[in-house]
Amino acid sequence: MDSAKTADSGGARTPEMVGSKIKGSGNLSSKDMFLRAADSGGVRTPEMVGSKIKGSGNLSSKDMFLRADKFDLRSLDIQLEKHLSRVWSRSVMENQRPKEEWEIDLAKLNIRYVVAQGTYGTVYRGTYDDQDVAVKLLDWGEDGLNTAAETAALRASFRQEVAVWHKLDHPNVTKFVGASMGTSNLKIPAKAASGEASESHPTRACCVVVEYLQGGTLKQYLIRKSREKLAFKVVIQLALDLSRGLSYLHSKKIVHRDVKTENMLLDTSRSLKIADFGVARVEAQNPRDMTGETGTLGYMAPEVLDGKPYNRRCDVYSFGICLWEIYCCDMPYPNLSFADVSSAVVLQNLRPDIPRCCPSALANIMRRCWDANPDKRPEMDEVVRLLEAIDTSKGGGMIPDDQLRGGCFCLRPVRGP
């Protein structure tokens, strides 16, 4: 192949074209082999090797050069301008996104060590702006560990928890500090095999930051007291804290949907606060809009287990189970499988056995709260009034294990502490 003539190209050599489609180039014949100075003004064209150019047909190895006047440069400019405009707009939107009122400043967050770990979340202890906090890290599944559906559910759960929690203010509800969503700047300490600190977390992890309560969960506290049991006044104090917190939530049209002793936290003075709003939601006006098995088996109301519509009264049922657990310092249905519990609660009206030494006023509250008919269960504000009316001066707590003698302890005349 001859090189381009100086008279035609002005001394400018045309490069080879490599594998692309060029809009509006037309069909090129073997004579269209050279680029003229009048057509190109000395501008080099991109390289191209053996490919199909839009409107040009198949090029052979000899068709190495294209005429500049065959390019639709105006069309290419328009396409490039549109692309750059989209990129610029997206960048501006991301940078100018208004900050949510609950978003925290990550520079003030210091995450220290793991407190608890679950299926999709890990709880750390840390500090935020010199305040002791608990940091709940939620794995959004961006690293391929979860399916798209699972990831979507986790994102929805996070947004739901934040939307519910950041508006609440009550002494028996854990105080919300803030949250961070979808940030890769979160520094999470982890112990590597060498014992050195490392960062091992999803690039799109998010977190919820709440006040840290040193007393641990109510479940842990009751396990520690399983032998000695609780004084009756302590039982009523814990029950009142929980009932007041739930009454407040219900007044805000919020259904917790996972009321259990593991989701209740204690501070150093044994005050109880409701935590974990991962499955909480604003109550629907139409109960039929709230269905599905949401909660923890053993605490779930029959209508929830049965997949029927439900409302805030499902929390009342769960409270009744918690009240029994607080009094007995024991677990409900310890010897039954999940399937047996679910079936028996719905079909056979299974409930925990109330000890005969339990004061009748408290036993009646338990029975009313876990009634099979949601409409017969009291509202939580009524439960608060019933608990406040109970006299604790004469005792009535569960008999400690080390005081038990032969026979049924419930028949003994001595009342518990």
Query: Cα separation of 303 and 320, whole Å?
Result: 15
* Of 265, 234, 342, residue with least CA distance to 297: 342
Query: Cα separation of 222 and 174, whole Å?
Result: 19
Tell me if residue 92 falls in helix, strand or coil: helix
Tokens of 8: 């035609």
Q: Which helix (H) or strand (E) holds 265?
A: strand 264-266
Query: Cα separation of 306 and 304, whole Å?
Result: 5
Name the maximum alpha-carbon separation found in the chain.
121
Strands 254-255 and 57-58: unpaired
* Of 229, 247, 206, 408, residue with least CA distance to 325: 229
Are 222 and 332 a contacting pair, CB within 8 Å? no
| E strand map for 129-216 | 131-138, 176-180, 189-191, 197-199, 206-211
Catalytic residue set: 258
Alpha carbon distances (Å) from 73 to 13, 69, 87, 409: 20, 9, 21, 95
Alpha carbon distances (Å) from 102 to 19, 129, 154, 166, 388: 51, 15, 19, 7, 35
Sequence-distant (≥ 6) Cβ neighbours of residue 325 within 8 angstroms: 222, 261, 331, 332, 352
**DSSP, residue by residue, 26-87:** -PPPTTTTS--HHHHTTPPPPPB-S-EETTTEE--TT-----GGGS-HHHHHHHHHHHHHHH
The secondary structure of residue 406, as a DSSP letter, is: S
